[in-house]
Amino acid sequence: MAKKGRILSGHRPTGQLHLGHLEGTLRTWASLQDDYECFFEIADWHALTTGFEDTSMLRENIEQVAIDWLAAGLDPQRSVLFVQSDVKEHAELHLLLSMVTPVSWLERCPTYKEQRDQIGEEKTAGYGFLGYPVLQAADIIIYKANTVPIGKDQLPHLELTREIARRFNNFYGEVFPEPQAMFSEFALVPGTDGRKMSKSYGNTIDLADKPEEIEQKIRKMFTDPSKIYQGDAGHPEECPVFVFQGMYNSKERIEAIKEACATGELGCVDCKAEVTEKLLEALAPVMERRRELEADRDLVRDVLARGAQQARQVAAATMEEVRAAMKL
């Protein structure tokens, strides 16, 4: 069957993947494997942009990401799964793209400004952090991906990739397609404190968490601050726990929960208990597969090695075109 196009996406191995990754990206990626030619990278070079001072856990984190990917349904028979640094052509294209990318484009990137403010100048002063979007552009266009599944907060990065590809093509001829965004249904998953679920906020429910850990995290989860007692009227549209209800319950049950919360009939304790039950039910197959993969690390490493070989073939062919276009 003819594919609709080629996809490139990935995760940084900076720690355990969490529910935001599963619902925001992984389930979408898994559902696309039959219709698209999929390339998924574990972006270890990107992890160094803010984690350069301590790489002691990098290799373990890479394998943990791969385990989560496979447990969530990414299939090496239908997709290419690889580690970014195993395909050196990414670095070459990043260097060449950096020659044509204005610094002002990078400085205006919203994510650059946001993270610089959050984690401080010491960790964000290097070129690697400023040039992150150039390497990201290289990751995408070296495979001539025309579709990138992302959360809405990543749209400025993708638009910058499109600008870089357009600028390169204007100088040297039509080598790269301009990739388009594909948004998943649950692109933004709230964390336990109500903000976006993120490792940097420490508010995650990790895919590697045990059931009792998940139950404890949800029990302490932020809810509607104006609903103090069970009989108080709630505002479900403002409650992160209700977002989880919407992700794991039927439409009929969601409407019933919304009404019961708003009238004060349903209390937060009971609501959280139901969310916990539904979440653990949804995660059960992922947890079981994770246990199997943890016990067979050789299989995980073999998947990544074979994926890197496949990715290198495509990346090398693109770089031949790039060098020819630039007369190198």
Per-position pLDDT tens, the chain of length 328: 678 999 999 999 999 999 999 988 899 999 999 999 999 999 999 999 888 889 999 999 999 999 999 999 999 999 999 999 999 999 999 999 999 999 999 888 777 666 666 666 666 667 888 899 999 999 999 999 999 988 777 888 899 999 999 999 999 999 999 999 988 665 578 999 999 898 888 999 999 999 999 999 999 999 888 887 778 888 998 899 999 999 999 999 999 999 999 998 999 999 999 999 999 999 999 999 999 999 999 999 999 999 999 999 999 999 999 999 999 9
> What pLDDT, on the 0 to 100 scale, is given for residue 312?
98
Q: How far apart are CA 242 and CA 223, in angstroms?
A: 9
Same fold, 6-189+297-325 and 209-290: no
Q: Which CATH number fits domain 6-189+297-325: 3.30.70.100, 1.10.1200.10, 1.10.260.40, 3.40.50.620?
A: 3.40.50.620
Given a contact cutoff of 8 angstroms between Cβ atoms, the answer to whether 311 and 87 are in contact is yes
Task: Indicate the burial class of 242 (C-beta count within 10 angstroms; 0-12, 13-18, 19 or more).
Answer: buried
Task: Indicate the burial class of 282 (C-beta count within 10 angstroms; 0-12, 13-18, 19 or more).
Answer: middle
- 209-290 is classed CATH 1.10.240.10: yes
| Single-letter residue type at 51 | G
Q: How far apart are CA 249 and CA 257, in angstroms?
A: 10
Q: Give residue for tokens 């009939």.
A: 265
Structure tokens at 230: 């069970």
> What pLDDT, on the 0 to 100 scale, is given for residue 116?
67
Q: How far apart are CA 131 and CA 135, in angstroms?
A: 7
> What pLDDT, on the 0 to 100 scale, is given for residue 119?
65
Given a contact cutoff of 8 angstroms between Cβ atoms, the answer to whether 81 and 40 are in contact is yes
Q: How far apart are CA 33 and CA 111, in angstroms?
A: 29
Given a contact cutoff of 8 angstroms between Cβ atoms, the answer to whether 318 and 144 are in contact is yes
pTM of the model: 0.91
> What pLDDT, on the 0 to 100 scale, is given for residue 117?
65
> What pLDDT, on the 0 to 100 scale, is given for residue 39?
98
DSSP category for residue 131 = T
Q: How far apart are CA 180 and CA 158, in angstroms?
A: 8
Task: Indicate the burial class of 229 (C-beta count within 10 angstroms; 0-12, 13-18, 19 or more).
Answer: exposed
> What pLDDT, on the 0 to 100 scale, is given for residue 120?
61
Given a contact cutoff of 8 angstroms between Cβ atoms, the answer to whether 156 and 110 are in contact is yes
Structure tokens at 172: 């040297």
> What pLDDT, on the 0 to 100 scale, is given for residue 113?
64
- For the chain, the domains span 6-189+297-325, 209-290
